[in-house]
Amino acid sequence: MVEILATVAAMIVVTTAIHAAFMFAGLGVVHRLTPHRSRIGKLHGTLIVAGFVFTMFLASVIEAYSWALVYLRAGEFVDLETAFYFSLVTFTSLGYGDIVLEGSWRLVSGFQAAVGLIAFGWTTALVVQVVGDVFGREAR
């Protein structure tokens, strides 16, 4: 049980670090591309926002993949495709229930779902900020 909780703690740190790194990089690009907001056209601004959304989506995929590798290494799944599918369904809190973990590893999936919810909330807040930064009052 202690080993499982240590794994969860490590994965929370890894997930947070990945999300923060992509946020930092994505916001840096947004700020470099929008030095003078008043001169940004709607298409240019939309492309900047879409690029940021894609960046954060990529972060989420990498985060879910990281959890899948943990499940695979622990022997919870025999192949990467199933582990990644389970991880994506769990990370997004979709939770089909067609695949479930046994024993103590059920706790891990619960923590992964909680981390996923927080990550998507974090991303939503960032996208709202980026839209406001790119379009200013026009977006409100």
Q: What is the CATH number of the domain that holds 110?
A: 1.10.287.70
Report d(CA 29, CA 112) in Å as an integer.
Answer: 29
28 in a structural domain: no
93 in a structural domain: yes
29 in a structural domain: no
Mean pLDDT of 12-19: 98
Q: What pLDDT score was predicted for residue 138?
A: 59
Domain span at residue 104 reads 2-8+40-139
AA identity, residue 101: L
State how many domains the chain has: 1
Residue 37 pLDDT class (50, 70, 90 cuts)? low
Q: What pLDDT score was predicted for residue 27?
A: 97
71 in a structural domain: yes
21 in a structural domain: no
Burial 95-108 (b: 16+ CB within 10 A, else e): eeeeeebeeebeeb
Q: Cβ contacts of residue 72 below 8 Å, gap of 6+?
A: 79, 80, 83
19 in a structural domain: no
**Tens of pLDDT along 65-74?**
999 999 999 9
44 in a structural domain: yes
Residue 97 pLDDT class (50, 70, 90 cuts)? confident
